[in-house]
Amino acid sequence: MDAPHLNILQYLYGRFVTNLNIEREIYIIEFEHNTKRLSKLLGRVKYTQMLMPSKHNSEYLGAEKYNMTSGIYETNHVHYTDRHGLPQFGKPSEGNTKNFIIKVHQCCEEYLPKLEKLSIKLNEDINKTEPITIKSQNEQEEDVLSYSIEDVYDFLAFNFNIDVEKNEFISESNKSYITLTGKSHKLWKKDLPKYMIGFMFNFFFDSNKNIQQRILFKYEGQGIKTELYYPESIKALRDKEREIEKGITTDKDFRIFKSNLEKQISVYKE
């Protein structure tokens, strides 16, 4: 099939948005004054809008017709690929994949102004000016505490190339190095800078000395010194934090990366 498929995240987030009862959600959030629920919902809708292909893209399928011995039949199933890149057929949608994409964008465009208006209202009510769409570092750290070391392995293996099997990764007695390579476009648009790797390592392994002594990130084709170990990554993280604190550099990229990491953790948990 020449037409492209959606990927699994595009399909699942698209289904979430198109199945959302936005009026019910707004009522519950306002009634409970639940800023965390609003933050999560607003982040999901924005992320969905970012994930989906353009609604003007004409490459995706409309309804497909199949010639059968008993006649011509039409299918409206949405096409997507699973985590292994294998083609799948989702629930039927009017007009197939192309109209599904258009419908997702229409929902996002309708819901975002309502949610942002509610966000302003709730912030005014509690006299707060902080943005509520990104969790604090403490909240992110609380999230990771609910993970087992097996879960962390699965998350890293999903986003990067990892050179050990799960049983070797979690073994307390195994002292062999764990090497991560590759790019994760879900976390960052290009090679992760050292301080971002430091944040990710610290996020997952702050209290795990065994992994700290074994984990490293290897940049491919980046010169002679390509291996970044845990201590070096943490030093790069602390240096970056000091530069931000002193106003030497902006924290924009850092905030985007933290937000992306939070979103991917939410995807994994769901």
Taking only the tens of pLDDT, the chain with its 270 residues reads 467 888 888 999 999 999 999 999 998 988 888 888 898 999 899 999 888 888 888 888 777 766 666 666 667 888 888 888 888 888 877 778 888 999 999 999 999 999 999 988 887 765 444 443 444 555 544 544 456 788 888 889 888 899 999 899 988 888 889 999 988 878 887 888 999 999 999 988 888 888 999 999 998 766 556 889 999 999 999 999 988 888 888 888 888 888 888 888 777 666
How far is Cα 247 from Cα 101, in angstroms, rounded to an integer?
Answer: 42
List Cβ neighbours of 122 (8 Å cut-off, separation of 6 or more): 29, 30, 33, 35, 38, 132
pTM over cut 0.85: no
Q: Whole-angstrom Cα distance, residue 67 to residue 79? A: 19
Residues 6+ apart with CB under 8 A from 63: 74, 75, 76, 95, 96
Alpha-helical (H) ranges within the chain are: 8-18, 22-32, 35-51, 96-125, 137-145, 149-159, 166-170, 194-205, 209-212, 230-245, 252-269
d(CA 156, CA 152): 6
Query: Which contiguous run of DSSP H or E holds residue 74?
Result: strand 71-75
| pLDDT at residue 133 in the model | 42
Spatial distance between the Cα atoms of 230 and 178, rounded to a whole number of angstroms = 11
Given this model, what pLDDT does residue 18 score?
92
- The backbone region for 71, taken as left when phi is positive above 0, alpha when psi lies in -120 to 50, beta otherwise, is left
pLDDT of residue 128: 41
Q: What is the pLDDT of residue 230?
A: 93
Rounded CA separation 3/98 (Å): 10
pLDDT at 129: 40
Closest by CA position to 257, among listed 119, 132, 155, 137 = 137
Give me Rg for the CA atoms of the chain.
22
**Both tokens assigned to 176:** 């062999």
Rounded CA separation 257/130 (Å)? 19
